[in-house]
Amino acid sequence: MKKILSIAGSDPSAGAGLQADLRVMHALGCYGMGIVTAITAQSTQGVSQVWPLSCEQVEAQGDTLLSDILPDAVKVGMLGDVEAAAGVFHLLEHYPLRNIVVDTIILSSSGKPLYDAKDTAALLAIMRRADVVTPNLPEVQQLLGTDDTDASQLARELSRLCDGVSVFLKGGHSDGSDVTDTLFNIKDGSVTFYTHPRIATTNTHGTGCVLSSTLACYMALGHSLAEAAGMASAFVSEALNQGCCQTLGHGHGPAFFG
Ligand code: PXL
């Protein structure tokens, strides 16, 4: 069984963060493991509080786990703050980790900061150790300091900023009746678009987490990045489609019900 590690924040409502990642990994037949970077207080109605863990707490979770078990893929999600990010960087630097997917989480969809954008250097250091990074449009624009909207150009530029990683740019924040995710593959410099109809649903909480953990699983299962990206994009589309008639809580329900 493939072992996948999520390094992420805790979301008690399980729509996003570590709990969502573990549900996805289980659904894909993988063995999910988790290191917590931050505790959040939240529901489907938004994030009310965030407590990042210390560098020492993140490092100790990882040192203990990774000296026993090495995963087949890693998904890095919410970092919380620069301290917790330093703990994550230590783990990426000190262990032979593979298939590293870094989701560049900066803001929650409800607008609560999940990482302090002024500490970009620590986030970039982590992104540079990734195989693939998965920003959404506002994140890539913020990281590049631009308001350009050309997806292939943005993906290429972010790859350059990260000294050559692949970039899977999520299309959900753009307008239009379709959603197009864009992969810039550093292996051959190709750009691939994955387009799906936009699904009318308010159950969108954790869409990015579901995508990045799905991508990590498919990479661990032996798919090429281009295949894994297409399968992850289709998985999210199918999850949103299947979950659109479900009800959970009073706000934005989960993107993936399981
Ligand atoms: O979807 C981004 C995200 C990731 N991780 C945690 C979150 C959120 C959004 O709320 O709470 C823990």
- 206 classed as catalytic: yes
* Overall pTM > 0.95: yes
Q: Which domains does the chain have, with CATH numbers?
A: 3-243 (3.40.1190.20)
Contact call for residues 205 and 15 (beta carbons, < 8 A): yes
pLDDT, tens digit, 9 for 90 and up, residues 76-116: 999 999 999 999 999 999 999 999 999 999 988 878 899 98
- Distance from Cα 186 to the centre of ligand 1, integer Å: 27
Distance CA 75, CA 210 (A): 10
Instruction: Name the residue at shortest CA distance from atom 9 of ligand 1.
Output: 108
pLDDT, tens digit, 9 for 90 and up, residues 116-172: 888 999 999 999 999 999 999 999 999 999 999 999 999 999 999 999 999 999 998
User: How many residues are recorded in the chain?
Assistant: 258
C-beta of 108 in contact with ligand 1 (< 6 A): yes
Contact call for residues 253 and 15 (beta carbons, < 8 A): yes
C-beta of 105 in contact with ligand 1 (< 6 A): yes
